[in-house]
Structure 1
Amino acid sequence: MTDDVLGTATPRPTSLDPQDLGFTPRKPVPWLGPVLLAITGARVAISEQFGAYLDKRELQNAFPDDTFDHSGTGELWFDYVADLGDGFDATYSVAYLLAQPEIEVDGERLPRGRVLVMGGDQVYPTANDHAYEDRFRGPYRAAMPTPPPGDPVPTLYAVPGNHDWYDGLSAFLRTFARREGTSIGGWRTAQTRSYFALKLPQRWWLLAIDSQEGGYLDDPQLTYFKNVAKQLAPGDRIILATPNPSWVKAQESTREYDTIDYFLRKVIAPTGARVALMLSGDLHHYSRYTLADEPPAVDDTAGGGLGGTGRQLITCGGGGAYLAATHTLPSKITVPPKQALPREASSGKEYKLARTYPSKARSLALATGVFWRLPRRNASFLVLLGVLQTLLMLAIVDLRGRVLTTPVFVMVAATFGLTLFFAAGLTSGHRAAKHYILGVTHGFVQVALGVGGAAVWQELPMLHWPRPLPALTAGAFYGPVIAVLSAQVVALYLLIAGRLLVNVNELFAGQGIQGYKAFLRLHIDTDGTLTIHPIGVDNISKHWTPTPAAASYEPWLEPADPLRPHRIEPPITLR
């Protein structure tokens, strides 16, 4: 697919046919698919063991080191979205709202941002040119094909997430960091590296760092930001965008926050500037932490919303990917954590959880939907369970008085191996004894299910039919039934393990909940006030109507199911 030429109108599609659209609208990623599970486990292992050898950040020293100035207007509206390149319906629902000239939320009209910052994972599950085209560029080009006439061309910047990193940033750099820039529909890219600095009005700055999975800051990146720091002055305020919410992840794996703390101490602190807001995606929900000793904010929407002076820590990963749990978030966190290893680490401050979307109660209720959503959303996973359980049953009924046979040993070993891999192999970060205990227990239950199934099968007449009829009958009738029962065991395991903070991601990834999307619309006023509008969308649209007769800059597709954006909480005002 060739790059768009900014401002050039292309023929508008008349249908959702890929040949007409120029890209293929993709279904949500089946995260529990066997092949994808294996690939994910392999990538986690590779990223942990060989990530340094795949790091292209050192090579970016040869790229331009521009700082991007958006400070000349006196005030500025800009948007933040993250975790967007999954299924078309959810991704395009959010892109459609971001592309509108303005949106109305709770009676207030908020204009489209002149800058769009993407906080990571612009594509799933794998970063390559075809995936970026179908899951990111295509939907965003369809949402705003060309810049509206007379309006300033909005600029797009992106932080790489862990999925953008799976190919060592190759496709990410080709998409976002070309020297001459490129266009994605009506948005214009400008950055030349995987990190960037934006000078905003009224002495505000937005600094976006590339520190994937708590990794070190490479020397070219440190040099870049030290040069940026020379432009900072005491009293300047900073929005720091990071690839993941290390302030939350550090509560379990304390080293997650080390890189951010180093950056704050060594680069920002000497300038006298203050980090007022930290933004991240990676966790697919909205959450906000605020200083625990700050006076309670007053809900005064008419007067500007929730006022505050302390640092805000916001995770907003609702751009299109499946919903992640909020009920497992800690109510209070210490940042940096008390167990931080660096001797020079900053003194820890306590933060309290101020708001989540969805609410913790709603998240807990959604978790129980794993019993019916998991079988519906993961057909290939059910096939895997059915095949394994059928082979296990056939091995058991063929014992013929023997205590153990090679097929039984192989199938039992495979069952325990897969359940252990599921509990511990997919988990990034610290693996504790609970991971292995849960994996072994899950394995015992799956084997017990196979033994029970074999006992029932032995009572049926098909067992005595001539071969291969018993095996064929088992595959046709026993397999589908035992697959559903085995899936219910997996669902129960995920629900229990999730309460112990194991496989929490898989508990929600397996359900593929597409609702509860979120993004931020931010405004810097002429008096220097930053107002953050957290926008939520409970239900996405799943049906779209082509608009071939509309103006060239209007969306290619209109939602047949109305999108109803609303405030997640009153605006947060940093004065």
Structure 2
Amino acid sequence: MSDSSRDTAEGAGWGAAERGEYKKLMPAKVEKLSWLDPRTLWAARNGVLASWFGDPTGHTRSRWVAQREAAGAPPDKVIRRGDADRFSFMVIGDTGEGDDPQYAVVPGFLKTSQGTDFAVIASDVIYPVGTADDYDTKFFRPYQDYRAPIYAIPGNHDWYEGLGGFMRVFCDDAPPLAPEPPPRPLTRAWARSLLWHRPRTTDGQHLDQARELRSAPDQRAVQPGPYWAVDAGPLRIIGIDTGLLGTIDAEQGAWLREVSKGPRPKILVTGSPLYVDGEHHPCTIEGGHGTVDDIVRDPDHHYVAAIGGDIHNYQRYPVQVDGRTIQYVVSGGGGAFMHATHTIPRVDIANVTEEDFRCYPLRGDSLAFYSGLYGRRLRLRRLFALSGDEATAVIAERLGIRPTRAPGEPVRVTRRARVVAGLLGAGGRPDRTSRLRLPVRKIYTHLFSPSSATYSPPFFKCFLRLDVTPDAVRLRCFAATGNRAQEIDPPVEDEVTIPLT
């Protein structure tokens, strides 16, 4: 097995290394997504409008679900895949930017996924707005050689055009929803409708041609809707749709409670992680019906894990609940630009300590990555750019922890390294540089990160493989750096065995 980022800097993808062969998979012309482009920002306006004028996602979702049931989808929304007591599946999140970081994941994903029964995409299948025409190069082409079905749950970006593209691809070519009467004038819904982004009438004209790339019988997958459950062997996997704003509607909440009943062990896959960045986000069920995490924690429901996309890295929190452990996982590193991990403070939440917590990329690698980005953007590389060893050492100092990866040579933490770490929010700690802190997490996410995405390794992407037996689930997080060594032998960045009995 090849070195991981926890073993060596080379295992993380740093240093002189042979670039992978993923570019051979890419189309000749790739449009690089920029969130600084006013056209992109305008097309993606529905999330902002929903937060200002009310979120129509729940109502629209109910209409999609009703349409699917009228077309013959099972009312319980359960996909039954047989009773074999052993099976394997993949989970990959936030995939669809269609550029180098997404395609760099593919060789390792295909190698690691051999022998798996199906895959699940956890959130944001297509960026920026879920357009049906984008599925060619951002879904069908990259995964054309994966010889098993792919199921998906939508993320907020898939909802920016009302979920039409997603429903056509994953839900048996569902036709568009019938128009509704216009809202009453001068209401919030009326104001929202004036600015609401809608798909082009010509969208998806080439979808049938794109489908040919994944047209083999063993690749076919039909979902009952945007949320669903899969029964496979001893396990039930439940996927929920958290829409534009990270909540679920009351109708979906009632279904989730019903489908969660019974002694069968369960894994939740959600578009919004329940534990992330050292914080708890239990996911509200609209109408005052509690939270998703209430359902997950209920001992009568027998959940063993909850895996969320949306945040573009890997994190794991083993939370003790009533004498049992539920693994709360973030897995959104499947192709979109990298969200920082170095801004995560020292973990101490729900009895999960820093020693229990795992993340990828490691905080030091994340800090080195972002210091390099800012060095290039500001043309101040000598000031900003930290080596992996320097970043690892300053993170250890700021958080009061042992270095996650021991440096090759002793590293002295310099004043420059401390200043850069403070400016980039390392460890989430306030200090004298706080007032000058550069945007990394939220503002940078919306403005700079996507447009500054590097197109050369290391990319720090990841995906999961889960192997299920009657007694346990073996969950492994594999890395994709974009280098050839990690394509040939994808390193395991984290591994945990989850008992089912």
Q: Which residue of 1 aligns with 2:364?
A: 361
The one-letter code of the counterpart of 2:479 is G
Once the two structures are superposed, what CA deviation does each residue of 1:74-133 show, in whole Å capped at 9, x if it has no partner?
101100001111133332332333334xx3xxxxxx744211000011111121111122
In structure 2, C-alpha distance between the alignment counterparts of 1:535 and 1:244, rounded to whole Å: 21
Q: Which residue of 1 aligns with 2:462?
A: 518
Q: Is the 8 A contact 1:159 1:195 kept in 2?
A: yes
Matched, 1:278 2:203: no
The one-letter code of the counterpart of 1:529 is A
Q: Is the 8 A contact 1:325 1:505 kept in 2?
A: no
In structure 2, C-alpha distance between the alignment counterparts of 1:494 and 1:71, rounded to whole Å: 57
Q: Is the 8 A contact 2:462 2:478 kept in 1?
A: yes
Once the two structures are superposed, what CA deviation does each residue of 1:49-87 show, in whole Å capped at 9, x if it has no partner?
346335521111232233112341110110000111113
- CA apart distance, 1:368: 1.1
In structure 2, C-alpha distance between the alignment counterparts of 1:173 and 1:571, rounded to whole Å: 34
In structure 2, C-alpha distance between the alignment counterparts of 1:256 and 1:49, rounded to whole Å: 19
- CA apart distance, 1:331: 3.1
SS in 1 for 2:325: coil
Describe the shift of the 1:70–1:34 C-alpha distance in structure 2 as closer, same or farther (beyond 3 A): same
Matched, 1:93 2:104: yes
SS in 2 for 1:322: coil
- CA apart distance, 1:166: 0.4
1:455-466 paired onto structure 2 within 5 Å: none
Describe the shift of the 1:117–1:291 C-alpha distance in structure 2 as closer, same or farther (beyond 3 A): same
Describe the shift of the 1:373–1:193 C-alpha distance in structure 2 as closer, same or farther (beyond 3 A): farther
Q: Which residue of 2 aligns with 1:217?
A: 248
Q: Which residue of 2 aligns with 1:391?
A: none
Q: Which residue of 1 aligns with 2:160?
A: 166
- 1:538 aligns with one of 481, 491, 495: 481
1:152-163 paired onto structure 2 within 5 Å: 154-163=148-157
Once the two structures are superposed, what CA deviation does each residue of 1:148-201 show, in whole Å capped at 9, x if it has no partner?
xxxxxx221101011101011111101111179987355222212000101122
Q: Is the 8 A contact 1:521 1:532 kept in 2?
A: yes
- 1:325 aligns with one of 340, 358, 365: 340
In structure 1, C-alpha distance between the alignment counterparts of 2:375 and 2:158, rounded to whole Å: 31
SS in 1 for 2:162: coil
- 1:200 aligns with one of 232, 239, 246: 232
Once the two structures are superposed, what CA deviation does each residue of 1:486-538 show, in whole Å capped at 9, x if it has no partner?
xxxxxx9998233796535545334203511100000011x321100110122
Instruction: Name the Cα RMSD after superposition.
Output: 3.7
In structure 1, C-alpha distance between the alignment counterparts of 2:313 and 2:435, rounded to whole Å: 19
In structure 1, C-alpha distance between the alignment counterparts of 2:489 and 2:378, rounded to whole Å: 29
- CA apart distance, 1:373: 3.9
The one-letter code of the counterpart of 2:292 is F
Identity percentage over the alignment? 23
Describe the shift of the 1:351–1:292 C-alpha distance in structure 2 as closer, same or farther (beyond 3 A): farther
- CA apart distance, 1:326: 0.4
Q: Is the 8 A contact 1:326 1:359 kept in 2?
A: yes
TM-score between both structures, scaled by the size of structure 2? 0.65
Q: Which residue of 1 aligns with 2:399?
A: none
In structure 1, C-alpha distance between the alignment counterparts of 2:442 and 2:100, rounded to whole Å: 30
Q: Is the 8 A contact 2:93 2:121 kept in 1?
A: yes
Q: Is the 8 A contact 1:537 1:563 kept in 2?
A: no
In structure 2, C-alpha distance between the alignment counterparts of 1:328 and 1:513, rounded to whole Å: 19
- The structure where helix makes up a greater share of residues is 1
Q: Which residue of 1 aligns with 2:190?
A: none
In structure 1, C-alpha distance between the alignment counterparts of 2:295 and 2:227, rounded to whole Å: 17
In structure 2, C-alpha distance between the alignment counterparts of 1:495 and 1:91, rounded to whole Å: 33
1:17-96 paired onto structure 2 within 5 Å: 26-40=30-44, 42-50=45-53, 52-53=55-56, 55-59=59-63, 60-63=65-68, 64=73, 65=75, 66-96=77-107
Q: Is the 8 A contact 1:164 1:172 kept in 2?
A: yes
Q: Is the 8 A contact 1:127 1:166 kept in 2?
A: yes
The one-letter code of the counterpart of 2:311 is L
SS in 2 for 1:36: helix
Q: Is the 8 A contact 1:76 1:524 kept in 2?
A: yes
TM-score between both structures, scaled by the size of structure 1? 0.57
Q: Which residue of 2 aligns with 1:503?
A: 444
In structure 2, C-alpha distance between the alignment counterparts of 1:293 and 1:233, rounded to whole Å: 18
Describe the shift of the 1:264–1:131 C-alpha distance in structure 2 as closer, same or farther (beyond 3 A): same
Q: Is the 8 A contact 2:313 2:341 kept in 1?
A: yes
Describe the shift of the 1:498–1:319 C-alpha distance in structure 2 as closer, same or farther (beyond 3 A): same
Describe the shift of the 1:569–1:266 C-alpha distance in structure 2 as closer, same or farther (beyond 3 A): closer
- CA apart distance, 1:224: 3.7
The one-letter code of the counterpart of 1:206 is I
Q: Is the 8 A contact 1:77 1:524 kept in 2?
A: yes
Q: Is the 8 A contact 2:308 2:330 kept in 1?
A: yes
In structure 2, C-alpha distance between the alignment counterparts of 1:118 and 1:495, rounded to whole Å: 38
Q: Which runs of 5+ in 2 are unaligned?
A: 1-22, 175-207, 380-432
In structure 2, C-alpha distance between the alignment counterparts of 1:268 and 1:350, rounded to whole Å: 15
Q: Which runs of 5+ in 1 are unaligned?
A: 1-15, 104-109, 148-153, 295-307, 335-348, 377-491, 542-558
- 2:119 aligns with one of 107, 116, 119: 116
Once the two structures are superposed, what CA deviation does each residue of 1:194-245 show, in whole Å capped at 9, x if it has no partner?
001011222x21111112255543354245435534xx423x3211111022
In structure 1, C-alpha distance between the alignment counterparts of 2:149 and 2:435, rounded to whole Å: 42
1:244-255 paired onto structure 2 within 5 Å: 244-248=272-276, 251=279
Q: Is the 8 A contact 1:494 1:506 kept in 2?
A: no
Q: Is the 8 A contact 2:98 2:137 kept in 1?
A: no
Describe the shift of the 1:47–1:495 C-alpha distance in structure 2 as closer, same or farther (beyond 3 A): farther
SS in 2 for 1:140: coil
In structure 2, C-alpha distance between the alignment counterparts of 1:291 and 1:496, rounded to whole Å: 32
In structure 2, C-alpha distance between the alignment counterparts of 1:563 and 1:29, rounded to whole Å: 28
Q: Is the 8 A contact 2:337 2:453 kept in 1?
A: yes
1:385-396 paired onto structure 2 within 5 Å: none
